[in-house]
Structure 1
């Protein structure tokens, strides 16, 4: 059936509960497919680390409602169990201000919205650290707010003592809601964070010990007799929202053998090698994007701008995802041979995508939180300076010029999440940007200079826009393969 792990608000422990479930299931040698509602990159890293399978993002803003269903069905049916981690509070969506999306419900792209799309029951996580009798009012409100949702049960998190648990259970008894898990306060199990959320998995040498402690906790804190039948992914093959045949047909769009992908691949003249920067500085990628590149014929070659002295041999394109280049600015600066290799390749015409942290790397400098400047690739005539202001949210962007990935006038949807800004704004910006849910103008953004560069703070998911990776591959195919 599969479950969605939802919180009554942000910070109640959704990720901890999800990782505890995943760790305990994986310890049982179970095959588990996880999903994450929303645009987040870091939580999915932890999912993947625990399960050994790439976590998939379910985001109807970046893709579409249909794609969310396709992605879920396609991947869930390949594993024994499946689990979806929600985003923020259960009903927290993008809203419907203004005229742009006035027909959207106020919880569009929320955990509740995705749960309805998938027809999957919800487990509600409640932070009980400052609650006793009031827990019943919270649970009753969430269970009755939207009758279209099925609440499978509760997980009581941060329970302080046996007496505390007894008070909580007495209060909840009249609601007859199953308590599927009880997690006591766990001061010895922590995952450190910094300015953009949790510290990614690659930077945590003690992570295995943390995961083992979570698995130990999961073995004892959940009602597995009730949970296991709910988590079985096999039921998705039989019925999803009463639309089995329709959704199974849609899921074929994600298959390498689908007609859509075969037709697109046929228009690409060769199978170019594309260098994907992936290390501690650059690791924000949607797995679906990488999969699409491969399904369209590209060969992906992973490399590290931190430790490799130059680009991999024979590549014909580059993709720099987001990440934390500001944290590793000194090491990136000291690897001058890699920076030179990247610069020479771009000057020679190599097609290059740079999102957020990747954009920062292509700038002249990164100015860190201490105000110290570190030289970068130097292709973009600006510096990226860290600051306290957080830029966060979905964006509707309209292309102002033809670029590596899109034509002028093309409208795309993406997401921004960064604390840096460009000291010198682009003279020929790539996008005019707006808030996703209104007509509020967010300003000019992005670089497409020279034309073989697409550099932007906006993260894109290509699931509903196969023309974007196809166009990139076609441009890469025109580049002669040689040493850089």
Structure 2
């Protein structure tokens, strides 16, 4: 591998808190630059499944996650390097607030010298906007800084007040002064373009028939801002040299094996990077849809039931026999299954919604799943398996009541977290834990091999 760094402009889009518009701005910027013919690489900071759906739609390519703990610094560095080789600009959406979490989005920006673009909901402020910008910019000395974009702005007059709060004496200057002062523009308050939400986060982009129209509307609004008016030369102010990392291919521990992956609207929490790990391990990946009542692919050796929203599709899943029967036969034959979060919920006896309605599920594990009106668990986790430590996270709005004993449990990284149980029936393993396969290819291979039994 060459040792020459790859140079590419990059921005980390952050905010003082969740709900400020980071995803909207990242996706709009990706769509705007993609429409101009630029090759845009997009990442999501932290373990998120939903925001990347919007970014992938905006730029037309897969979106990977970057987390200094879950991925590890070497993995993050290599992904950034490879992306810099293949793209004209890189965009990274932050997670929560700029300094929230350990590690935070600010940690990632500082580690790699990536300038921060702050998105701030300015709907109910004027001069205080400048104080928040000042705090974000100077809270950590040396943080690379690009500027601020005001979101949900009520009028042109409101935008001028916000600009004055940031630019000060340069408020009447030219666009170049705006950029130098860190004023990158304003986006209007426009509810009809908003990206809708539900429990766990944003609605998946593919479920909205007008998703592309929403992205184009935001891209059009962004086009006339100081940020949107920058040409390729202007973006070079945020260029970063990304260094390569020795990237050893994993041993092909799954060579000759077929891993069947559930993929549809009910099971859509899939990291593209996880699929690439399976392929790098030598597996052939085949897909099936439990929602469409498709049986497991012929001859599959192992099954992955990823997370998603089985509770939203419980009425359909409870009726589907072909998938259920083929999965039951697969488990009875001693073949491997890895079920995580939503995929695990499907396997218990039933799911009860918050309104009290209960839907029978597939009964491969004894117990009941109950939806909660609030978040039940959140945070990074690790699982020490006999073949290595898998890193990942947990994030769910349901709980499980079962007498079935846990075969293992994960370890929360935060002192506020709770361990997640790992259930086992033969070669079937299931947990609320979402695994990042690249953290231990050997442990991943064990999940999908006869060794699991």
Is this a same-fold pair by TM over 0.5?
yes
**Residue 5 of structure 1: how far off its partner (Å):** 0.5
- Among residues 308, 316, 333, which one is paired with 1:323 in the alignment? 308
Q: What count of residue pairs does the alignment treat as equivalent?
A: 435
Q: CA 1:428–1:469 in 2, change beyond 3 Å: closer, same or farther? A: closer
1:466 aligns with 2:441: yes
1:28 aligns with 2:36: yes
Alignment of 1:360-371 (within 5 A): 360-371=345-356
**Residue 474 of structure 1: how far off its partner (Å):** 4.2
- Among residues 407, 412, 430, which one is paired with 2:408 in the alignment? 430
1:418 aligns with 2:396: yes
| CA deviation map 1:379-408 (0-9, x unaligned) | 111121112231232244455xxxxxx329
Q: Normalising to structure 1: TM-score of the pair?
A: 0.84
Q: CA 1:315–1:222 in 2, change beyond 3 Å: closer, same or farther? A: farther
The answer to whether the 8 Å contact 2:302/2:449 transfers is no
Q: CA 1:198–1:128 in 2, change beyond 3 Å: closer, same or farther? A: same
1:57 aligns with 2:65: yes
**Residue matched to 2:204:** 200
**Residue matched to 2:190:** 186
- Among residues 48, 55, 78, which one is paired with 1:70 in the alignment? 78
Q: CA 1:230–1:320 in 2, change beyond 3 Å: closer, same or farther? A: farther
- Among residues 342, 349, 355, which one is paired with 1:357 in the alignment? 342
Q: Distance in 2 between matches of 1:301 and 1:364?
A: 27
The answer to whether the 8 Å contact 2:379/2:417 transfers is no
Q: Distance in 2 between matches of 1:414 and 1:223?
A: 35
**Residue matched to 2:109:** 115
**Residue 206 of structure 1: how far off its partner (Å):** 2.0
**Residue matched to 1:223:** 227
**RMSD of aligned alpha carbons:** 2.4
| CA deviation map 1:311-336 (0-9, x unaligned) | 11121110011000000001111112
1:40 aligns with 2:48: yes
1:249 aligns with 2:245: yes
**Residue 17 of structure 1: how far off its partner (Å):** 0.8
The answer to whether the 8 Å contact 1:182/1:222 transfers is no
- Among residues 250, 273, 276, which one is paired with 1:288 in the alignment? 273
The answer to whether the 8 Å contact 1:413/1:436 transfers is no
Q: Distance in 2 between matches of 1:6 and 1:347?
A: 48
- Among residues 433, 453, 456, which one is paired with 2:431 in the alignment? 456
**Residue 426 of structure 1: how far off its partner (Å):** 3.2
Q: Distance in 2 between matches of 1:359 and 1:299?
A: 23
| CA deviation map 1:83-124 (0-9, x unaligned) | 00001111111xxxxxxxxxxxxxx32110111122111111
SS, match of residue 18 in structure 1? helix
| CA deviation map 1:48-84 (0-9, x unaligned) | 1221211110012222122221222122321222100
Q: CA 1:425–1:396 in 2, change beyond 3 Å: closer, same or farther? A: farther
The answer to whether the 8 Å contact 1:367/1:384 transfers is yes
The answer to whether the 8 Å contact 2:386/2:443 transfers is no
What are structure 2's unaligned runs of at least 5 residues?
1-8, 170-179
SS, match of residue 284 in structure 1? coil
**Residue matched to 1:154:** 148
**Residue matched to 1:343:** 328
Q: Distance in 1 between matches of 2:128 and 2:86?
A: 41
Q: Distance in 2 between matches of 1:294 and 1:444?
A: 27
**Residue 473 of structure 1: how far off its partner (Å):** 4.7
- Among residues 161, 169, 176, which one is paired with 2:163 in the alignment? 169
1:447 aligns with 2:427: no
Q: CA 1:391–1:232 in 2, change beyond 3 Å: closer, same or farther? A: farther
**Residue 228 of structure 1: how far off its partner (Å):** 4.2
Q: Distance in 2 between matches of 1:135 and 1:394?
A: 30
Q: Distance in 2 between matches of 1:444 and 1:218?
A: 42
Q: Distance in 1 between matches of 2:237 and 2:30?
A: 14
Q: Distance in 2 between matches of 1:113 and 1:325?
A: 35
Q: Normalising to structure 2: TM-score of the pair?
A: 0.90
| CA deviation map 1:239-281 (0-9, x unaligned) | 23xxxxxx3133xx2xxxx4x42xx11x55x321111100000
SS, match of residue 330 in structure 1? helix
Q: Distance in 2 between matches of 1:23 and 1:384?
A: 39
